Amino acid sequence: MARAITFSRLPSLSCGACTNSTIGNGGTALTSSVFERFRFGQKEIKTRGIRIHYHRKLTLVLTSRSDIHPTPRSHSPGERAKQLYECINEKNLKALDEVISKDCCFEDFSFPTPFNGNKEVLLFFAQLTSSMGKNVRFILKNVSEDEETAWVNWHLEWKGNEIPFTRGCSFYECSKDGERLVIRKAQVFVEPPIKPGGIVLILLKTITSLFDDFPTVTESA
């Protein structure tokens, strides 16, 4: 009777029947089938375990990489430049004093001479923020940086509307004051309200021609 066992009846047999040597060829097939299923289960569990382990490991690595070299705001020239404009927009002169160095040189090419020293620069910022009123703000378009320098493209807006002829570009050189990064030098270029266009090139050509025609006078000037 054991030899007459069919495959459709295999799932109903007990494990004891699987190991009974009197089953013959049918029992051998049954034992092999169960053994293969057991091995497949072990392999599946192991594979899933590896996948879970790998996923957890990858998650941990990605999480830790973001914290390998954190960059505090105060240690980035670009972030220092952003802080400067935030303080101007908020009219926070006390915070501005923390952003610039004691010997800061602020050169705005709209003015005939630069502002030298912390007091002169802060006085300029006080006049600037007062002139801006309540609704005018600096809007930064691009901020770039390297290890010690930042440069910013900006314009002025009134209640979200760009004010004509207020586009500008600023360059900032930073240095360490103890553990604090501060702005040591600034150069500001502002869009001129009068745009002479080609006249500038004609004027440049005229001046350089005079330099070339009278080099001795030019060099002694």
pLDDT in tens, 138-163: 999 999 999 999 999 999 999 999 99
pLDDT of res. 40: 53
Q: What is the pLDDT of residue 44?
A: 54
Minimal CA–CA distance to 122: which of 147, 96, 98, 142? 96
Cα distances from 81 to residues 96, 140, 154, 184, 201, in angstroms, run: 11, 10, 11, 11, 33
Confidence of residue 179 (pLDDT cuts 50, 70, 90): confident
Separation between Cα atoms, residue 126 and residue 106, nearest integer Å: 14
CA 32 to CA 209: how far, in whole Å? 101
Q: Among all chains, which residue has been given the structure tokens 């021609």?
A: 209
Determine the pLDDT at residue 15.
44
What is residue 7's predicted lDDT score, i.e. its pLDDT? Answer: 40
